[in-house]
Amino acid sequence: MEWRASHILVKDSSLAERILKQLKGGGNFSALAKEHSICPSKSKGGDLGWFGEGKMVREFEDAVKRMSSGSVKGPVRTQFGIHIIKKTGQRD
């Protein structure tokens, strides 16, 4: 199984909550990633591409596995910071 996801990585939990509110209000995930994310993937709107089992840190991967395609979840905490995740695909 492989998954595809985008994320917005931040260090501040209050910023993560503000971004989530914007997304729930119809905000553009890619634009918000480019504006706020501290991950190099921000240049691609947060897109991490396709990845398989064991390629991402456990907390991130576990969250993506439980999500349905197109959904947004957050905050998800890992050693890198606080993630807001959008699952964009799944394939066998």
The 10s digit of each residue's pLDDT in 66-90 is 999 999 999 999 999 999 999 999 9
pTM metric for this prediction? 0.95
Q: What is the DSSP string of 24-85?
A: HTT--HHHHHHHH--SGGGGGTTEEEEEETTSS-HHHHHHHHHSPTT-EEEEEEETTEEEEE
Which pLDDT belongs to residue 17? Answer: 97
What domains lie within the chain, and their CATH numbers? 2-91 (3.10.50.40)
Residue-wise pLDDT tens digits, 20-72: 999 999 999 999 999 999 999 999 999 999 999 999 999 999 999 999 999 99
